[in-house]
Amino acid sequence: MRTLRIVLVVLVALLAWLQYRLWFGSGGNGEVAALQAQVEQQARQNEGLRERNAALAAEVADLKSGEAAIEERARAELGMIRPGETFYRVVERAPQAAPGEARGNDGVER
């Protein structure tokens, strides 16, 4: 009878030790949850980078295939025009002061 109690106490202690390792020890549930969160975050980053790579690959293929993309880029980024074309720049006027606002000789509102 006494040995049965000793075996029972040892088994309960072993169970308590295993539960402690499961919940708080190295490789326990908390660490697994943290690692799963890191994996999900990395998967989101990877997906964004895949989309970016696909867009860049499409742009490279477009630049290799024809002159239209090169021309578009030269016009947009470098401000280039074709020979014989006329370049027009539209400049909007500054907003007029409302009537009744006083201005000094130097054009500064007072």
Q: What is the pLDDT tens value at each position of the chain, 110 positions in all?
A: 889 999 999 999 999 988 888 777 777 777 888 899 999 999 999 999 999 999 999 888 877 887 877 787 788 788 788 888 887 778 888 888 777 665 555 555 55
Angle 29-65/2-24 helices, nearest 10 degrees? 30
Range of the structural domain that residue 47 is part of: 2-78
38/27 Cα distance (integer angstroms): 15
Residue 36 lies in a domain: yes
Q: Look at the block and give the residue holding tokens 């000789």.
A: 105
pLDDT at res. 95: 84
pLDDT at res. 82: 81
Number of domains in the chain: 1
25/34 Cα distance (integer angstroms): 14
Asked whether 29 and 21 are in contact (CB, 8 A), the reply is: no
pLDDT at res. 52: 96
Residue 90 lies in a domain: no
pTM above 0.75?
no
Residue 67 lies in a domain: yes
Residue 93 lies in a domain: no
